[in-house]
Structure 1
Amino acid sequence: MADRGRARGVVATAVALVAALVLTGCVTLPREGPVEEGPAQVAADPAPRIIPDGPQENAAPDAVVRGWLTASAAFDDDYSVARSFLTAPAASSWRPGGRVVVVATGGLEVREVAAGPGRGDGATEPTAGERRTVTVRAPLLGVVDDRGRWTSAEPRTPYTVDVTVVRVSGAWRITELPDEVVVSRNFFDQQYGAFQLQHLSPDGRALVPETRWFPQRQATATLLVSELLSTGDRSAWLADAVSTAFPVGTTLLSDPPAVPVEGTTAVVDLSAEARTAPPEQRLLMQAQVTATLRGVPGVTDVRLAAEGSALTLPPGTADVLDDPVVTGTPVVVEGGRLARLDGEGVEILGGVPDLAGRRPRLPAVAGDVLAVLVDDRTGMVVVRLPRDAATVPDGTAAGAAGGALEVVTPGTDLVGPSVDRFGWAWTARSGAGDDAGLVAADADGDVAKVDAPWLADRRVHALQVSRDGARVAVLSTDAAGTPGTVQLRVAGVERSPGGSPARVEVAGDPLPGLVDALDVTWVDGQTVAVLGRVRGQDGADPDSRLRLLEVAVDGSVVRSTDVPQDAVRVTSAKGRSTVLLETAGGLLQRSGGSFVPRPGAAGVDASFPG
């Protein structure tokens, strides 16, 4: 526990040292300075250094608060300039690393609540010890906690905080303020980066990303590795869905923790526990750290050490899925038969039991397992395909041919299935009681009820499991399907030792403005796409236009694209360019900022593998 506490403290302290950004006011960017020798090939910090002004003579209370907000952008010397706007006790106690509040660019208001004597009438000077209140208001977008985790705000949520100033030695100084930093979205995007902590799936076969927002500086390597090793403090929704290759108790060796960058190599020196890992496990440790430090400025390589000496690794790299590429083509229903879509048309899938007369709908495939709804969505068939019939994502093994037609999951109005990399086909049953909710089945006829307490009073409308198998995206409404009750949730998947899904733990709401949704798909390991509608700019009335909403799993980024209003389904391989839309007029593919007909497309219910 002491080691985990130390790691958490280091993260909070480091965030505090570099967390703040400019909201408003004047700052200076350095244009010149001494030439210093240093290690070759070390990348410069991508974010510009900010040099703010200190308190101005005769500044009014609201001007002092504005100056403090601006100066909070300067992280040098533990916010020394920002602290100069505070009284001595407040400067000593202020802890800006508690959280980062991100507000809309523009719309910031800083206003004194009541002017009081000596303000504006020119008749009375303020007296020593006199206190004033200044209110800061802005539209709230989200909050980043001291671990780098983003939480989205409901649309049109106001951020309001009162700051107290006091007259000290003939000047106004801040005496009461929150332990946080308030930043605009523009400066947040310039100074912060979305980094991915790369957890390991419990079977050791896939990396599972979790987004954390940290300043884009080389010190970020220390923050990320510290968080990666703090396994006891994982985000609750992922805690039982992921694992780690690092032996229990492994920490960074130095105190305080540090990951120095030598040239372009991050040196990760670990405690003695790291040496207890067998060779293959060390490769997984290397894979986790290397993938986690991708994108850190100036870091292109990683060297693991333990107690100051290099950690011996076997040749090669770990065989793990890392946001795998989908190499197969979409599966469709064409004329009541299952087919796959290629560049020239459709090719009927071989090795599939005869579904004539069973009205197949909404097929899904991963590896050698195919699932499809039949009989007006009252049953799900799961079969194992011959090797040459399956369209296979990279890293997913195909099995032997076989499989007979068998409805393994009866139900009412079943949700379109999603097949995970373990060969389990997920769907959801409507209704009430023990039979309702999430369920999964495999090609051997085994059925698993998936525990999801957060869906107890809700109805699932669409779902898809991520290609790492550790997360699932779910669209649901209340039990009656009431308009305006739709929610998007991404949940961590807890599995039994044999790989069957057992329970899903929900995360926060990544898209709180959603009011209607038709379908959801994974675009990559950090992004899901929703075909839906969101609230209008006034925050009250729904935006009537259907849009493609590409949403970061944590909700920190949402991209909106206009789509044809008759679109009904969406599917994607990997990357925004692979997104396909199904409309009444056929299948559309992305072309720049719009969607155009896909050449040779035929059939309905297109679904990429995985």
Structure 2
Amino acid sequence: MTGLLVAASVLVTGACAQIPQNGGVQRGDVTITDPGPVYLQPRGPRAGAGPEEIVAGFLSAQAGGVYEDWVTAREFLDEGAAQAWDPTVRTVVMARDPELDQVSGPTDETIAGAPTDLDDGSETDEPAEPVLAEIRGQVAVTSQLDAEGRYTEATVGTLQDLSFSLEQQPDGQWRITGTEDGTFMSDSNFSTIFRQTSLYFPSRDGEFLVPDVRWYPSTNTAAHAVNGVLAGPSEWLRDSVSVVAPEGTRLVLDSVVVDEDGTASVDLSQEVLGATDDERAMLRAQLEAVLLRVSGVRAVEVTVNSAPLDIRTRVDPTRDPMPALASPLVLSGEAVSTVSSSGVEPVEGLLSLAGSDPTALAISVTGAEVVYRSGRTTIRTAATAAEPSRVLLTGKDLVAPSIDRFGWTWSGDMLPGSPLQVVSPDGVVTAVAADWLDGRSVVSIQVSRDGARIAVVSRDGTGTAGQTRIDVAGIVRGDTDIPVRLSDALVAGAAVVDASQVVWVDESTLAVLAQGQTSGVRTVHLVPLAAHSEALSGVEGAEWIASGRGRRAVYVVTTDGELLNRATTGATWTRVAQDVRLPTFPG
């Protein structure tokens, strides 16, 4: 798509700079400067352009409009359409330029730049008939942002129809009179203009910071992020975290100034004075967690109407925690075992699972307790020298268990309409409501390490091959931290096909075992909650996955018992153990 100029400052050292050919090697300091955002400069309409060129130019100018309030893009619209069009309601990311066709109106050859008033100088009381045209098209969509920067990945092959009404103006120029709201841009322009930004909100007990990932323009990112924090979490997460900023709290000047030392000044309105000291301390922790990840920010100063905000308490909630184990536990023979550079060794104190047909493992957050699925019908604790095995849950076809940080064990039957169930540390079984799972069969679950969210793979009630869905929902807890219900779901990894297992890689990324779209071989897919999914290289016979924190801590085991991971190179699978199965990290 044409119509955009890229403006950037580039320092070139050419003929006047040479690599020294002699002399000693000297040590020196090198400073690499962040070049800052690249600005796209849109072009306005060309005089005499026909309807199709006007529409193409309008679409092309929209990306750069993020920087200049879409002033140039509105030049392609007539006065009424320019006032009515709202480009901020959504951002649609296109895989390629749209295909456009003129379906009505004069052709380019007869209308380009042609005036509509009479040429012979005669006068008439009858108004001239408007000269109209219509352009239709279709665009392949890869993703979409809503007005608050929430990202949704599109399923493979998603197409959106486009329709534009145009009218030739009194001066002979064509302008668009009707178009739908929103901004359309290419994937490359989206990557240039927007930055992924995690907002953070405290868990209900204040122990953890839970991310709510957004995408904001690369200019004034800090102000966008602070406004996002003050506005509160997304609806699906709202009942699973706490909001500490008093209602009505806002930035005084709708900006965050970052000085030459990297200190970001967050000047809040007086409503923040209604927060308790503990709430102010948590708000500061939120703002630091968000802003210290913005380029150029090294410290955060919170003020109220330019005066330092009085905060006497310091809180330090955990963000993106590391699992208690550096490598997964596996089943070697009938023994739950550790994997290390020295080999595979049984876990001291755990008794053999011989005769119990273990088909899945789960480990408590501390790593101190192991439960397993016996066959497909029973969830049990692993026996120790001091404690015999106990039955936690029975069913007809139970999903592999997950243990949250409060000690609740999650499972449930994989039958259509069967609810998720949790077992308390003292053995009480409770069903967890989730309306969006009605009529679906749960395939795999894992609770996030912060305990506020759960990832779910489910299949539609027909059991159609490949018709799986990956969702993340907030866990709404009652007294004693009992899970009561799941929030509405956030759909993730819409492009991933035939998923069979899900685990958490970090605070905002999942690993999913699913079919590769091109190879057909089952492999691991990295599924960010707010970005494109990525299929890792295929693994023949991939059967089970596990993950610590980070993509180099992802493991896969094959049907032949080979345990592979990518820690060595980060790009290829390397064997780390053999004759093992069911790798598992805490969670």
Q: How far off its partner does 1:281 sit?
A: 3.5
Q: How far off its partner does 1:484 sit?
A: 2.6
SS of the equivalent of 1:498 reads helix
1:29 aligns with 2:4: no
C-alpha contact 1:95 1:179 (8 A) present in aligned 2: yes
In structure 2, the residue matched to 1:101 is 92
In structure 2, the residue matched to 1:88 is 79
In structure 2, the residue matched to 1:184 is 186
C-alpha contact 1:403 1:443 (8 A) present in aligned 2: no
Q: How far off its partner does 1:567 sit?
A: 0.4
Gap change, CA 1:250 and 1:405, over 3 Å in 2: farther
Match of 1:116 among 106, 123, 143: 106
- How many matched pairs? 548
Gap change, CA 1:32 and 1:549, over 3 Å in 2: closer
Distance 2:362 2:426 in 1: 17
SS of the equivalent of 1:86 reads coil
C-alpha contact 2:402 2:447 (8 A) present in aligned 1: yes
Gaps of 5+ in 1: 1-22, 34-40, 387-401, 537-542
Gap change, CA 1:373 and 1:172, over 3 Å in 2: same
In structure 2, the residue matched to 1:311 is 309
Gaps of 5+ in 2: 12-30, 118-129
SS of the equivalent of 1:594 reads coil
In structure 2, the residue matched to 1:68 is 58
Q: How far off its partner does 1:180 sit?
A: 1.4
Match of 2:265 among 264, 267, 273: 267
Gap change, CA 1:203 and 1:371, over 3 Å in 2: same
* 1:100-499 paired onto structure 2 within 5 Å: 100-104=91-95, 106-114=96-104, 116=106, 119-120=108-109, 125=114, 127=116, 129-168=130-169, 169-217=171-219, 219-231=220-232, 234-246=233-245, 248-249=246-247, 251-254=249-252, 257-263=254-260, 264-314=262-312, 318-328=315-325, 329-352=327-350, 355-365=353-363, 366-382=365-381, 403-431=387-415, 436-479=418-461, 481-499=463-481
Distance 1:564 1:167 in 2: 59
Under a length normalisation based on structure 2, what TM-score does the superposition of the two structures give?
Answer: 0.86
In structure 2, the residue matched to 1:587 is 563
Q: How far off its partner does 1:367 sit?
A: 1.0
Distance 1:473 1:553 in 2: 10
C-alpha contact 1:516 1:532 (8 A) present in aligned 2: yes
Distance 1:142 1:301 in 2: 33
Q: How far off its partner does 1:492 sit?
A: 1.0
Distance 1:477 1:30 in 2: 48
In structure 2, the residue matched to 1:561 is 536
Distance 2:61 2:378 in 1: 62
Q: How far off its partner does 1:570 sit?
A: 0.8
Gap change, CA 1:498 and 1:369, over 3 Å in 2: farther
SS of the equivalent of 2:400 reads coil
1:4-40 per-residue CA deviation (whole Å, 9 max, x = no partner) reads xxxxxxxxxxxxxxxxxxx53342526699xxxxxxx
SS of the equivalent of 1:530 reads strand
C-alpha contact 1:382 1:441 (8 A) present in aligned 2: no
In structure 1, the residue matched to 2:45 is 55
Gap change, CA 1:504 and 1:225, over 3 Å in 2: same
Moved more, 515-524 or 203-212: 515-524
SS of the equivalent of 1:289 reads helix
C-alpha contact 1:428 1:438 (8 A) present in aligned 2: yes
Under a length normalisation based on structure 1, what TM-score does the superposition of the two structures give?
Answer: 0.83
What RMSD in Å do the two structures reach over aligned CA positions?
2.9
SS of the equivalent of 1:507 reads strand
SS of the equivalent of 1:50 reads strand
C-alpha contact 2:547 2:553 (8 A) present in aligned 1: yes
Amino acid at match of 1:491: A
Distance 2:146 2:324 in 1: 38
Distance 2:309 2:183 in 1: 40
In structure 2, the residue matched to 1:607 is 584
Gap change, CA 1:268 and 1:383, over 3 Å in 2: farther
Distance 1:70 1:245 in 2: 41
Q: How far off its partner does 1:278 sit?
A: 4.1
Gap change, CA 1:203 and 1:496, over 3 Å in 2: same
Distance 1:211 1:123 in 2: 46
Amino acid at match of 2:78: T
Q: How far off its partner does 1:463 sit?
A: 0.9
Distance 1:420 1:200 in 2: 17
Distance 1:374 1:551 in 2: 26
1:288-324 per-residue CA deviation (whole Å, 9 max, x = no partner) reads 1111224323322211122331123347x52312011
Distance 1:548 1:159 in 2: 29
Match of 2:508 among 526, 541, 551: 526
1:92-133 per-residue CA deviation (whole Å, 9 max, x = no partner) reads 3332112111110x342233223526x336999563631111
C-alpha contact 2:292 2:300 (8 A) present in aligned 1: no
Q: How far off its partner does 1:374 sit?
A: 4.5
1:52-100 per-residue CA deviation (whole Å, 9 max, x = no partner) reads 3322222111112222222223335432222222223323333211211
C-alpha contact 2:381 2:390 (8 A) present in aligned 1: yes
Distance 1:110 1:123 in 2: 18
Amino acid at match of 1:74: G
Distance 1:354 1:42 in 2: 56
C-alpha contact 1:382 1:425 (8 A) present in aligned 2: no
Distance 1:609 1:477 in 2: 25
Distance 1:177 1:584 in 2: 54
Amino acid at match of 1:609: P
In structure 2, the residue matched to 1:396 is none
Q: How far off its partner does 1:347 sit?
A: 2.8
